Amino acid sequence: MGLIEVGPIRVFAFHGCLPEEALIGGQYRVEVTVSGDFSKAEAQDDLRETVDYGRVVAIVQEQMAIRSRLIEHAAARILDALKQEWPLHGPWRVRVTKEHPPVSGDAESARYTVEG
């Protein structure tokens, strides 16, 4: 068994419940982890036998470009897209961090993690 970790992937996106967030956007970090049997990739040195990091980043960017009110929704969409791309690998973990959320008080970030 092996573990692949990609990230944090930095993305500028327009998620949030406040109308202003749809206009000004904000910084996000996304981390993706997948475990599985990557022994064929280890033995054969073949990208087709593993998870392509470049494609992971592209999927994250594609999904983060679709506006959501909640980071929970964005994270679930990313997870679904990854599972669709690589149905034989898993389980997956997707962590979305919103930097400096607009809350009353001093919060460096808000984070949501989904697994499946």
User: Which one from 20, 21, 42, 49 is the annotated catalytic residue?
Assistant: 21
CATH number of the domain bearing residue 17: 3.30.1130.10
**Residue 49 annotated to the active site:** no
How confident is the model over 36-57, as pLDDT tens digits? 999 999 999 999 999 999 999 9
Placement of tokens 């022994």 in the chain: 39
| pLDDT at residue 61, rounded to an integer | 98
Range of the structural domain that residue 32 is part of: 2-115
| pLDDT at residue 45, rounded to an integer | 97
| pLDDT at residue 103, rounded to an integer | 85
Return the SS3 of 103: coil
User: Which one from 49, 98, 108, 115 is the annotated catalytic residue?
Assistant: 98
The verdict on pTM exceeding 0.85 is: yes
Placement of tokens 């970030």 in the chain: 109
Encoded tokens for 47: 């990208």
| pLDDT at residue 47, rounded to an integer | 95
Encoded tokens for 101: 């959320």
The residues of the chain scoring below 70 in pLDDT are none
What is the rounded distance in angstroms from the CA atom of residue 111 to the CA atom of residue 107?
11
Encoded tokens for 1: 């068994």
